[in-house]
Amino acid sequence: MATLKELRDVRIGKLTRLKELGIDPFPSASIKDYSNNEIVTNFAKFEGKEVTLTGRLMSWRTFGVLSFASLQDFSGKIQLYIQKDLLEETDAKKQILGHSDLNLLDIGDFVQVTGNITKSKTGEISIQPRQLKILVKTVRPLPDKWDGLKDREVRMRRRYLDMTMDEEVRARFVRRAKFWDAHREFFKAKGFLEINIPILEHVPGGGDANPFVTHMDSIDQDFYLRISQELYLKRLIGGGYEKVFEIGPRFRNEGLSDEHLPEHMAMEFYWAYADWKDGMKFIEELYTYIIEKVYDGKKVFKIRGFDVDFSKGWQILDFGEVMKKRFGIDVYNVTLPELEKVLAEYKIERDFVMNVPRAVDNLWKTIRKEIAGPAFLINHPKYLSPLQKPSLTNPNMVERFQPIIAGSELGNGWSEVNDPLDQFARFSEQQKLRDAGDAEAQWLDIDYVEMLEYGMPPTFGYGHAERTFWFLEDIPAREGVPFPQLKSHIEDTTREIYGLSEDVK
pLDDT digit string, tens, across residues 433-479: 888 887 777 888 999 999 999 999 999 999 999 999 999 999 999 99
pTM above 0.85, yes or no: yes
Going by C-beta distance under 8 Å and a sequence separation of 6 or more, which residues neighbour residue 218?
A: none
Reported CATH class of domain 165-479: alpha beta
**What values do phi and psi take at 138, rounded to 5?**
-75, 145
Strand partners, 63: 66
- Nearest alpha-carbon partner for 385 in 422, 334, 335, 354: 422
- At 386 the pLDDT is 65
Question: Which residue type is seen at 157?
Answer: R
SS3 category, 351: coil
Query: Which pLDDT does position 422 carry in this prediction?
Result: 87
Rounded Cα distance between 496 and 505, Å, is: 14
The residue ranges of every structural domain in the chain are 4-136, 165-479
Question: Which of these, 280, 294, 265, lies nearest to 181 by C-alpha position?
Answer: 294
SS3 255: coil
The amino acid present at 415, given as its one-letter code, is: S
64: alpha, beta or left, given left = phi > 0 and alpha = psi -120 to 50? left
Q: What pairs with residue 459 in β-bridges?
A: 272
224: β partners: 201, 213
Residue 392 sits at φ, ψ, to 5 deg, of -70, -25
- Give the pLDDT score at 148: 55
H or E segment to which residue 295 belongs: helix 276-295
In the structure, how many helices (H) and strands (E) does the chain have? 15, 19
User: Backbone phi, then psi, for 118, in 5-degree steps?
Assistant: -150, -170
pLDDT number for residue 452: 97
Helix, strand, coil % (nearest 5) of the chain? 35, 25, 40
Distance CA(281)–CA(314), nearest Å, equals: 10
Phi-psi region of 58 (alpha: psi -120 to 50; beta: other; left: phi over 0): alpha
Residues 264, 250: contact at Cβ < 8 Å? yes
β-pair partners for 110: 56, 136
**DSSP tag of 424:** H
d(CA 413, CA 462): 4
The mean pLDDT values, 10 residues at a time, for the chain of 505 residues are 91 98 97 98 97 98 93 97 96 96 97 97 96 98 72 85 93 98 98 97 85 96 95 97 98 87 96 96 97 94 96 94 95 92 87 85 93 96 81 90 96 93 88 80 89 97 97 96 90 89 82
Phi then psi dihedrals of residue 119, to 5 deg = -120, 145
Distant-in-sequence, close-in-space partners of 75: CB < 8 Å, separation ≥ 6: 35, 36, 37, 38
Fold of 4-136: OB fold (Dihydrolipoamide Acetyltransferase, E2P) (2.40.50)
Interatomic CA distance for residues 347 and 344, integer angstroms: 5
CA distance 229 to 197: 8
Residue closest to 249 by CA, chosen among 17, 481, 505, 487: 481
CB 243 within 8 Å of CB 462: no
| DSSP-derived 3-state class of residue 112 | strand
**Model pLDDT for residues 246-282, shown as the tens digit of each residue:** 999 999 998 888 888 999 999 999 999 999 999 999 9
